[in-house]
Chains A and B, each alone.
Chain A
Amino acid sequence: MAEKPQSVRVLYCPVCSLPAEYCEFGPDFEKCKPWLIENAPELYPDLLKDSNDKEADKVSEQLKSVGISSSGGDGTTTAAPSGGTSTSKQEVKRLPGGKIKKKEKQEVVIEKIVRNKRKCVTVVKGLDLFGVKLSDASKKLGKKFATGASVVKGPTEKEQIDVQGDIAYDIVEFITETWPDVPETAIFFIEDGRKVAAA
């Protein structure tokens, strides 16, 4: 047998998943930049220069603000909120950009459907928006509540989980415990055709 050719390890950007050298052609080069500067500076020498300039600016600004605030009486309290606002501004800036806007609102909708008068099915929609694997989730739900739980293609090609039995009240706690990514505020019930927040 011939000698095994060594497999090549390619540096992939965690932001856009492309090899680092293709980030500049990726969907969002701007977002990749911080990572690139740290991990693959040799690929983009121009970038490094830019960032250095920017950082210098930032530092000088910070120095300035600190100088101003420390001259005031209660300097520390004024400095802290200003920092907070600047970061939130950045987040807002990112949101309107192109594709992110299209993203659906992340929420889990729980609906109880009664059938045969005394039997019901609890439908959980939208768990997949939180990066939860639906097949896993249905298994967990079935185990927890000792009932049948299945992934069903709902209306408009969306996948949802059908759980047999009325579990609407325990399910909120269960969801927030098993998937910490799902905040309680994002869970809604449907009662009489109206959306009601669970929290």
Chain B
Amino acid sequence: MIEKVEESTASQPTTVPAPRNSWSAWWPGFQRFLGNRKAAAGLVIVLVLVALGVFAPWLTSISPQAQSFVPLRPPSLAHPLGTTAQGQDVWSQFVWGTRASMTVGFAAGFLATAITVIIGMLSGFIGGIGDEALQMLTNVFLVIPGLPLIVVISSYFPFQNNWPLIVIIALTSWSWGARVLRAQVLSMRELPFVEAARMAGERTTAIVFRELMPNMLSLIFSQFLFAVVSAVLTEAGLQFIGLGNIDAVSWGSMLYWAQNDSALMTGAWWWFVPPGVAIGLFGAGLSLINYGLDEITNPRLRARVRRQKRGRPA
């Protein structure tokens, strides 16, 4: 216990009252995050798209499945994004599709990150034969191409809802992060505070998840963002070739039907463009947040730009 107290005072030299403690630790970090142009731009893009999904029921009163309008109409006041070849409202499909795609993306991303954290951190900490085995497992998953595997699996087990899809995407996408986390744990496991925890007789799992993990949150968060991006892309790709649940409205199934009814060839860009742009913007937004975080945590990436800016009078 004594060691633990020392460790916490070492990381936070000024003693502050307990309730303010977490807040005062987070707030400057968050301010720095917003001060980074990339991160702030990414956050805005992602928040707007998330808001579309969250507030879908308030943004449209039309059911995304209702085939009750004149087909293939360009955008108008009644239909901000026009209509599909089946006479559905594209705007309604878009906002509800946003909700569906994000659900899959965040759920699969979360699950993948959980596997990443457990396997990557344990592998790095336990060492020895267990590490070798976990590393082998990670590398096997890393080199086996995910999408063809998912394609084959989903044609064996036709999906009734999104859960099997989420689980499979997570199972095939955790490995890259696990490698990164393992490397980070290796570089941290000999640090004094870990040593202290070990001396205090804490169990391995406690050291890994209570001592190491809080110090790696930004790295884990960045893995999570990447996992979400790749989950959204995988889901869209799978839906696009007609696997997965194409009757549910999502960005991928919108693209599938748009392609199926040759939306581009008939000039119905309002049907084909929005889902693709949304996927692209969402991915770019999350990547921007990631690069922003990278610049904040890795001083080398930003130091020189600042110096140059100061050096050159405007």
The judgment on whether A and B are partners is no
Binding site for B on A (CB under 8 A): none
